Chain A
């Protein structure tokens, strides 16, 4: 399972990178979304998969899955949500003000030129 997940994560990273290299701001943000999914799954996979029951003591199980990666991912999900939300509104505002979502058009002008 871990090996399959490694390939799935690799494909998520690949699509995310390809999207982030595009010109459209929306696609870049979609890319960051995919990238954070990939990262979260990577953390979980590296902690080992399916080694026991859910980390709830009420289960009275012999083995539990590792709770620490789950706590880390939970924190990461919330943070990436906050950042994504901020980016989305930023993109929305820049679309409103500049009238474009092509990042190639968003170059500043250099004073030397």
Chain B
């Protein structure tokens, strides 16, 4: 257990103390106790930057289940560090924000911070685990803690609905990912990502490569809200705003991005990977941006915008994987996609976090998040307005903010796709820049809606619950810090390139580096009159025009049929699976013993008949049979006639007597077949049984004395004939297939020698196999006690009296 391990699980350990703080220090907001932890962790991870920049990694192993190859190996490399800094940094800001957002009198703060710390530790575990099984465990813990956080206000129905939906979808993907991990293990024999990457060349042509790829991507797509699995994210907005800002914009939804980036060295060389990641990413990008405009809830817009931006990053990672196909790093113009992905990842976390916090402030200070009720808030909330406008401009990709730079790089990457000569990109590649451009126009429009519909326009005090005013200072500090990062990264983009982006790229594309080499990342603010610049100009021009004419064409959205929406589809799928399985269960679980017997017997007939024919086992051997005398014929006819006539007898008494007749005939059979003990026992027991039958059913109360013949039913008849036939067939074939001699010779020889008896059956019962007899006695004892209990014990009667 090293400091690194301690750092990863410290949030989990610390969460144990939260309820204690909450109970002991009732006057102090519990968040203050939580706050130091993410700050300390942030500083700790900052301190590893020099090592990472020198292309070293920090690896620590803690044995967990060594025999299964499952060890808690923590590894910090460029990619892991980037995510760890995001998680702890934004975590600290979110905790600070939540101290002012959640009132300590009204909310159950202890549960909130326990869940939040659980999530933080789980997320650190996901990004810093080198072992896939450990990563999966943390991955599910993030789903779980996210479920708890979305359902934080569990008394609201929508919270519960959103929590359940996100749980179902992300756990579905998580399980698929577990399948992919196991397939990877089958191919490589290890769970360690480092070792799997080292073997990536060997497994490329393995038959399990493609299934593993698809399973892993299902996990990544569901977690990162890609098309069509994005539907849980808008409903997750029922969570408290700090949670939305932290989980559903900056960290958890990027776990899928992390997974894709982490496994790019393994799968990236495959064309399926390229098309799935880039294709799904770009579809998500345009889908999310188009439907964001329809939303009227601030957080709804932000949710769709998160979906869209995650699609953007995903498509960049997909396009960047194509770089693996080109040698010579100095001329490899395709690595820019990976640079853009990492840079936009950081940028998105900064501006989306601040936008969520701003939306939270608006909600907190006005009582609503509906943009139809909001408007003209600028004079009341100047600081929030400034935060929002910078965030939204950065999101729209306007200079001089960091979003502009990453959007330019995004366009560069998309334009360069058309220059690739692999995977049919010569012809289909043109779609990428076109879709990217259209999506950027929509991004521009919803970013404008977000700011201007809230802060400008007509002020409508009658629609607001509270009189709006600026938020308290504490609530403003975190978004201000984030928004200043937006501006700083906008003006000094190379601040991070050396320390974070280049090592992260080295982790995503390790095969492109020679020993000691590193990616040279230089993000220039001004790169001349290139095609990307004109694309941005086009976005701005068309975006402004469309925003101005929004009321005219917004009605177009009503044309989209509600029935085709993926949200409706999910609901109906859930409903259908519930009612469907209920119907199916009701169909066969009828509650009637008869039908269950029919299933059992039908299966008995079916399986035995099939086996008999399949194995060609039926065999009739007439050589080894004994002769049949007249007595045997008579007795056999007696048994047959007796047992069949029971079926047609109306009276119960007669059928009981017929059963007795069959029993006595059986004991006569025992006489004929030289079994005196059996004959004796059978006679006695048959007599007692018949007496019992008579006692039970003759002295019954007089109700339902009418007696009916059994009604003939074809299925019953068929099944019983089938059972009889199968038993006969098996008896005949078993008799025909004698494989070895019986062991009875031993008993014949030793009954007197060793056990001092002459009656072999009795000696077997009490000497050779005495244990059987012991427990048979127990059975009789239990049966008699049970009968006594049934007759004597009348709890119902006692209750009544």
Contacts and interface: CB of A to CB of B under 8 A. Distances in A.
B734 A38 contact: no
Nearest to B594: A21
B481 interface: no
B195 interface: no
B564 interface: no
Secondary structure of the B contact surface, majority rule: helix
Interface stretch (B32-40, B172-180, B565-573, B619-627): B619-627
Interface stretch (B77-85, B231-239, B318-326, B677-685): B677-685
B477 interface: no
Given A10-B728, A17-B601, A91-B696, A1 B627 contact: yes
B693 A88 contact: yes
Contacts of B703: 99
Given A3-B625, A83-B783, A40 B666 contact: yes
B724 A10 contact: yes
Interface stretch (B107-115, B415-423, B501-509, B740-748): B740-748
A39 to B, nearest CB: 9
Given A14-B720, A23-B594, A79 B732 contact: no
Interface in B325-348: none
Nearest to B605: A17
B696 A89 contact: yes
A1 B664 CA distance: 19
B68 interface: no
Nearest to B777: A78
A5 B735 CA distance: 11
A65 B675 contact: yes
Contact of A79 (B663, B752, B776, B787): B776
B656 interface: yes
A61 to B, nearest CB: 10
Contacts of A37: 662-663, 666
B780 to A, nearest CB: 5
Contacts of B625: 1-3
B689 A93 contact: no
B659 A85 contact: no
Contacts of B678: 44, 70, 73-74, 77
Main secondary structure of the interface of A (DSSP, over half): helix
Interface residues of A, number: 86
Given A15-B646, A46-B731, A21 B720 contact: yes
B673 interface: yes
B2 interface: no
B659 A21 contact: no
Contacts of A57: 748, 751-752, 757-760
B643 A89 contact: no
B674 A50 contact: yes
A85 to B, nearest CB: 6
A104 B723 CA distance: 23
Contacts of B751: 57
B772 interface: yes
Interface in B587-637: 591-594, 597-598, 601, 620, 622, 624-628, 632-633, 636
B783 A86 contact: yes
Contacts of B791: 89, 93
B692 A88 contact: yes
A18 B773 CA distance: 32
Contact of B731 (A9, A48, A92): A9
Interface stretch (B281-289, B293-301, B761-769): B761-769
Interface of B: 591-594, 597-598, 601, 620, 622, 624-628, 632-633, 636, 639-640, 643-644, 646-647, 652, 655-656, 659, 662-663, 666, 669-670, 672-678, 681-682, 685, 688-689, 692-693, 696-697, 700-701, 703-704, 710, 713, 716-717, 719-721, 723-725, 727-728, 731-732, 734-735, 742-744, 747-748, 751-752, 757-761, 764-765, 769, 772-773, 776, 779-780, 782-784, 786-787, 790-791, 796
20 contacts: A11-B724, A12-B662, A14-B723, A16-B720, A17-B720, A37-B662, A37-B666, A41-B669, A53-B674, A55-B761, A57-B751, A70-B675, A74-B677, A74-B678, A77-B678, A78-B776, A82-B780, A85-B688, A99-B704, A107-B592
